[in-house]
Structure formats: C-alpha cells, structure tokens
Amino acid sequence: MADMAYKRNGEILAGDALPTGICRVAAALEYNGTAYHGFQIQKHDPQTVQGYLHLALSEIANEDISLVCAGRTDAGVHASNQVVHFDTSAQRPSQAWLKGVNTHLPRDIRIHWAQQVKPQFHARFSAVSRRYRYIISDRKTRPGIMAGQISWSRYALDIVLMRAGAKHLIGEHDFTSLRAAQCQARTPVRNIESIDFYHLGDHIMVMEIQANAFLHHMVRNIVGVLMAVGSGRQPVGWVADVLAAKDRSAAEVTAPAAGLYLVAANYPASCGIPEFSPGPHLLPAKLG
C-alpha cells in the first residue's frame, strides 16, 4: 500500500478521508475458537484467527492487509459476529471478498458478509456496545458432543439466584475485581447495560450480557462469580462485596472459555452495518 501515513502503530485510524485510491471495507465473521490462541495476531504464533484472516485477505487483495476488530477474543473463545475493517487499494465486489476470502480460510473461520463502508467507520471505535453470550450445561456429566462449544457446571444452577446476583453488576462500575490481573485497559470503569438469563431445555442455560466495552476476562469472571451464586456456594450479596472490593483476589473464579461467544458489536444506523442474528446458530433465533 503506497501511503501508510494514516496508520499509527499498525492500527488503521478512522478519519474524514483516506489516501487517493484507498477504500475501507468492513466484514463480519464467525469462528470456532477452540483451536486458536485468541483473535489477535501474535509474533511467532500463526495459530490466531487474525493471522489466518490476514493471510486470506492479503491473498485476495494481492497486497498486505492490516485489519482492526470490534473486540479481541481470548484463546478458546468463539464469535458469531466479529466485525472487522481494513483499508485496501484493491477494487473487489462484495461477493469476491466473501467467496474468495472464505476459500482461503480454515473451515472453522468464515466471513458471512463484506462491503465497502465510509472512511469514518471504525470497527472498534464506532461501536457503541458489545454483546456476549455464555452457554452452560449443568447436567450430571460433562457434554461430549458439544465439547469446546459449551461450558459445564458440576453443580446444579439456580437461574433465579443468578439473576438476583447479576443485578448488582448493572450500570457503570469499577470492575477491577472482575478483570484479569494482566489487563492493560487504561480504566477499569465499564457500563453494563443488561444481563439476562435463559433456559434451553432442562440443563442448558444461556447468559447474555451487553456493555459499552469489556475488560480482559471480564465476562468469564462475571460468569464464574454468578455460577458460584447459582450453585449456592456463595450468597447473592457476595456479588456486591466482590465488586466493592476493587481487588481481583476477592473472587478468583474464571469460567472456562469454551462457552463464550462474541455475538454482536452494535453500531449507529449511520454506519450502514447489515442487520444480523446474534447466534451462535446452535441457539434458537429468539431467546426467552
């Protein structure tokens, strides 16, 4: 790419204009994260979702592509609607990006739409909120068929207790107690807009959580705390105590990555992002 001045530290910036001949393309992808060491590309580690997507996009564009995502996912975490954007001098119809890139991706990573967007669009900074879903089985034995795609609780879970505990987390709070010790976010303050729980059959539960943004391991740590409450091992009020402590050691419980899915990055209508079903596809189109 001829003009790289609009990049900073390898990240493509939002702006009012791009260099002549450059267009911005957004895409959404889904992936089973079981085999990958997270989304973000890492030095000397090719086994990342971004690493494979980078290679596939570069092949179709016939130039080196750098991309930005709506939210980084950890090792073993899945996505049904991960949004990315990239800038390119390649002129391709949307179907060429879609079909061409998918032919170069592993079968557990797929783009499901791609289109040119305004230069002002930014997959990360234009998003007003993100939504995750966490799927848990609490049957007596660990699932075999869905291993790696749903989590498991060895204890029976009470959805009423989990809903009551979750109420302590709604709103803007300092989530120091519920982020990873190695989290590098400048501030631990986040605003959780909603936490909902749904039963699918007798022994499958889905937690859906939406916030303006999330900290490293924040969702998995929240699930771990609420599972401790739902199993009766901790009282409902313990959730408020953990939050108030502003200390990660107050609740060193982290739910496994297997059940976690990034299902939505929400943008203003002016961004022109297509409507989508949150997924993942193993869930019904409408929960509740």
CB atoms within 10 A of CB 130: 22
- Rounded to 10°, the helix 94-103/49-61 angle is 120
* HEC assignment per residue over 218-239: HHHHHHHHHHHHHCCCCCCCHH
Question: How is residue 86 written in tokens?
Answer: 């990239």
Burial label, 191 (beta-carbon count in 10 A; 0-12, 13-18, 19+) = middle
Cis peptide preceding 235, ω within 30 of 0: no
List Cα–Cα distances, 211 to 80, 127, 143, 248, in angstroms.
Answer: 17, 11, 29, 20
158 has catalytic annotation: no
User: Under a CB-based contact definition with an 8 Å cutoff, are residues 82 and 29 in contact?
Assistant: yes
Report how far residue 77's alpha carbon sits from residue 230's, in angstroms, rounded to the nearest whole number: 23
List Cα–Cα distances, 286 to 197, 198, 266, 272, in angstroms.
Answer: 13, 10, 18, 23
Element (H, E) at 50: helix 49-61
Report how far residue 274's alpha carbon sits from residue 253's, in angstroms, rounded to the nearest whole number: 37
Rounded to the nearest 10°, the torsion over CA 145, 150, 156, 161 is -160
Report how far residue 169's alpha carbon sits from residue 157's, in angstroms, rounded to the nearest whole number: 19
Which is catalytic among the residues 3, 74, 158, 196? Answer: 74
Enzyme catalytic residues: 74
